[in-house]
Structures are given as structure tokens and as C-alpha cells.
Amino acid sequence: MSNESNGIDSTEQNGTGATGAGSSTEKPWGGRFTEPTDAFVEQFTASVDFDQRLYFHDIQGSIAHATMLTAVGVLTEDEKLQIISGLKEVQADIESGEFQWSVKLEDVHMNIEARLTDKIGITGKKLHTGRSRNDQVATDIRLYLRDEIDVIAEEITRLQEGLANLAQREASTIMPGFTHLQTAQPVTFGHHILAWNEMLQRDYERLIDCRKRVNIMPLGAAALAGTTYPIDRALTAELLGFDRPSENSLDSVSDRDFAIEFCSFASLVMIHLSRCSEELILWASAQFDFIDLPDRFCTGSSIMPQKKNPDVPELVRGKAGRVTGHLMSLMMLMKAQPLAYNKDNQEDKEPLFDVLDTLKGCLKAYADMVPAIEVKAESMREAARRGFSTATDLADYLVVNGVAFRDAHEIVGKAVAYGLEQKKDLSEMTLEELQQFSKHIQEDVFNVLTLEGSVNARNHLGGTAPEQVMAASKRVLAGLSTR
């Protein structure tokens, strides 16, 4: 192959910022190759542009691996010390921005190893003993994801705290509850907000459960079959804070179901946040006029001067599609892969990383925004009053006074039709007007026709009564404080 057709010219090499890579036959795996990698293929197969963010966990994994190799007598104490201090220098170079990532060295693993060898010489070449990039990368992603899970768990907790406090603040604020987006029955705003909390509580529990399966160590599986060295996998697992080493080497290097599971958790969070967003967007509209979002969470229009747009919830709603899309990518990535490792798996990183970034951004936006939601209590109340939201209460009243429920339903239906015609809510009708529909209606009916009467009456676990909302938010806050 001519230089022209293999495309490796000096511009290409310099353009990648390569250090110490030399010709492609000098790749760490170059021994059996007789010609350099095609320049396009080199770019096409490389992952360093996106997997360099694993550098910290890659080094963490290597330090533990070298420590274990020393404990079992494969490396000497001196070699271990050289490797560890070399890796720490590499880490410092990366963090100071001095490190030159090379596409010629394909991925984060070979970039770091090559740089280590530049620094400490032949001992650097011993680090990869008893290990493959296959178990190395699987370990790195698990370590990386585990740390991110812990950050996300805290952010969900912060959001839930905000929701519980908002619920407490608005425990007796009345709004219309909806089914089919039609006014159904009055509820308290606090109760509505606690419904959001329930969604996130389940998401949190899913996350904690997912973490258990993430926190298992593949290292030691080597390429696929294990290794001939007398490794101590329990020791490496302990050094890295894994719950245990994995059980099967073939499975360890091949499956990415833990990442799929995480993205499935993330998709559910995003779907929940998207539902919340939809409500915030509706509520902030002039038509609903239930809430105000502070200016700092909104933007304006370049043409319509009156506009204040709820961009944050809108973007979160939009990003739900993106995260769910990544979940689909990962599932399709996995399907039909034969055991054990396949290069397909390199495609796990970009979707997973984008899910992490997106989810963290959305959770932060929400946790910051929720405490700042301004409730327009009068307007909510007016909406609840206008929509015949206490019709069920009137029916229940009739039942208590001896009418069968189906008949009561019919009676109240007629009263509502009358109210629509007269433009009057049930609570605005006189006793005489109401008695046209049933003789069982007496003066005490007005206790149940009021909005307060309606919500206070639903005073049981899970009900909308302010007393229940206060108690439920206290339970939520108590639960969060023990996490």
C-alpha cells in the first residue's frame, strides 16, 4: 500500500496531536501486522475522543490491578511503586491539560498505558499482565457509572426535598384536580406535588437497585476466558469498592445490561419530569394561570415583547425523547451480539454519557426551580369553583341521606346542567334551587359543596385533605433524612 492510499501523511499525524505513537505497526497490538492501519479506519475505530472521560477510573482500576499483581507475586514492590507514581503523573498531566490524546493509540486505555511507559520505561509494559482491554473497559464504565449514580441519587434527593417542602407550604391550597384534563374534583396543590414525589421515590429506589448490579467487578475476566496468572479477584474488588467479583468471565466482558438498566431508570425519570413539565407549562399559561415561574427560569421572545416562555420545563420535556432514544440505541446495540466481547460495545459510551449529562442537567434544573414555583392560589381556587368540582360531593351527600348512588348521580347531573345554563356553580345555588332536584337536600348541603369541605372530607391515608398532605410530607422528609 502506498503512502497516498494509506493516507497517513504528516498533517494527519500532527492533526491528531499524536505523541509517541509512531507508525501504526508500533501500536500496542501491532506485532502481527505488516502494514499500517488505513488512516480512515484508524479514525473510524478510535474511541479516544469520547472515552477519555474514563481516564480517572481507568487509572483507579490500573492502580488496583497493579497492587493485586504485587500481592500475588507477579510484580515486585518496586515495580508497583513505579507504576503507581507513573500513573499519578499521567493523571496530573491529563488534569492540567498537558496530556496529548492520540487517535493512533485508539482509546483511553492505550493512551494512558503508552504515556506511562514513556514515563517509567519497561515496567510500564508490565501493567497489562493478566488483563485485557475487554475487562478493563467493562470495569472502567462500571466504576464511572457507580460514581455518577451516587451524584444522581443526591440530586434526586434534593429535588424530593424541594417537592416535600413545597407540598407542606401549599398543603391547603385548593386547585381543580383533573381527569381527561377536565375538572374532576378539588384537590390540594400540596397533594398534587406529592404525586410527583411518589414518581421520583420509585425512580430513586430503582436507581439504588440498579447500583447493586453495576457494582460488580469484571476485572480478571481478561479477554474472555480468564487469565493464567494467580490473580486475587477478591482483593482487586475490595480495593475498588466493588461488592464482589463477577461470576463468569465470558459474561463479564460482553454484557452491557447494567448500562441498559441505568438508561431505563433514566428514561423513567425523564418521562416523569416530562409529565411534570407538561403540567408546569400548562399552569404557567394565561389560560390556566395557576403558577408563575420566576424570570430566571424563563426566556423571552425576540419578536413578541409580551412573551415569557417556560423554556426550562419545555427543554426537559424535549430531552425525555433524547434519553429514551439512547435507551433504544443500547438495547439494539446488545441484541444479537454473540459471546463474548465485540467491538460493537465501544458504541455503549456515547449514549450512556449523554444520558448521564442530560439527566444530571434536568435534575439540577428541577431541583433549583421547584422551590421557586410561585403559586397563584386565588386563580387555582377560582378554577376549581368554576368547574362543578364538588359534584361528586353532592352525590355522596345524597347517598348519606338515603338516595342510591346511581340515582344520586342522575340528580346531580341535572343540577349541573341547570348550573351550566344559569352560569352558576353548585355552591352558588340557593337551597330552593337545589331542592328542585331532590327533596333530600337540606341546609347542611353547603358544608359539602364548599371546596374546603370537599378536600377535608378525603381525610385518609393517600387522600387529598390538608391534614394528610402535612403528614405525608413529613413522612417524606423523614425518609429523605435517613438516606
Does residue 133 bind ligand ARG (CB under 6 A)?
yes
Does residue 107 bind ligand ARG (CB under 6 A)?
yes
Identify the residue among 134, 139, 168, 277 touching ligand ARG (CB under 6 A). 134
Does residue 126 bind ligand ARG (CB under 6 A)?
no
Whether 254 is catalytic is no
Closest distance to ligand ARG from the beta carbon of 1 (Å): 22
* Residue 141 CB neighbour total at 10 angstroms: 23
Angle at the Cα of 58 (from 57 to 61), degrees rounded to 5?
85
User: In angstroms, how far is the first alpha carbon of the chain from the final one?
Assistant: 62
Of 131 and 385, which has the nearer Cβ to ligand ARG? Answer: 131
Half-sphere CA count of 184, side-chain side, radius 13 A: 7
Binding mask 259-298 for ligand ARG (x = CB under 6 A): ----------------------------------------
What are the cell numbers at 458? 378525603
Active-site residue among 180, 302, 460, 481?
Answer: 180
From 118-126, 192-200, 338-346, 466-474, span contacting ligand ARG (CB under 6 A): 338-346
- Report the site for ligand ARG in 137-166 (rule: CB under 6 A): 137
From 6-14, 87-95, 133-141, 433-441, span contacting ligand ARG (CB under 6 A): 133-141
Does residue 345 bind ligand ARG (CB under 6 A)?
yes
Of 137 and 166, which has the nearer Cβ to ligand ARG? Answer: 137
Binding mask 34-73 for ligand ARG (x = CB under 6 A): -------------x---x----------------------
Of 186 and 218, which has the nearer Cβ to ligand ARG? Answer: 218
From 93-101, 320-328, 341-349, 357-365, span contacting ligand ARG (CB under 6 A): 341-349
* Residue 417 CB neighbour total at 10 angstroms: 11
Whether 192 is catalytic is no
Does residue 389 bind ligand ARG (CB under 6 A)?
no
Does residue 102 bind ligand ARG (CB under 6 A)?
no
Closest distance to ligand ARG from the beta carbon of 227 (Å): 15
Closest distance to ligand ARG from the beta carbon of 287 (Å): 50
* Residue 58 CB neighbour total at 10 angstroms: 28
Does residue 343 bind ligand ARG (CB under 6 A)?
yes
SS (H, E, C) 316-346: HHHHHHHHHHHHHHHHHHHCCCCCCCCHHHH
Closest distance to ligand ARG from the beta carbon of 24 (Å): 15
Rounded to 5 degrees, what are φ and ψ at 178?
Answer: -120, 145
Residues 6+ apart with CB under 8 A from 290: 175, 283, 284, 375, 376, 379, 380, 383
> How far from 138 is each of 59, 102, 330, 359, 462, CA to CA, in Å?
14, 21, 15, 22, 43
What are the cell numbers at 320? 425525555
**126-139 burial code (b ≥16 CB/10 A, e <16):** bbbebbbbbbbbbb
Residues 6+ apart with CB under 8 A from 333: 256, 344, 345, 347, 348, 351
Return the residue matching grid coordinates 368554576. Answer: 386
Residues in contact with ligand ARG by the rule CB under 6 A:
47, 51, 107, 133-134, 137, 343, 345-346
Residues annotated as catalytic are: 180, 301
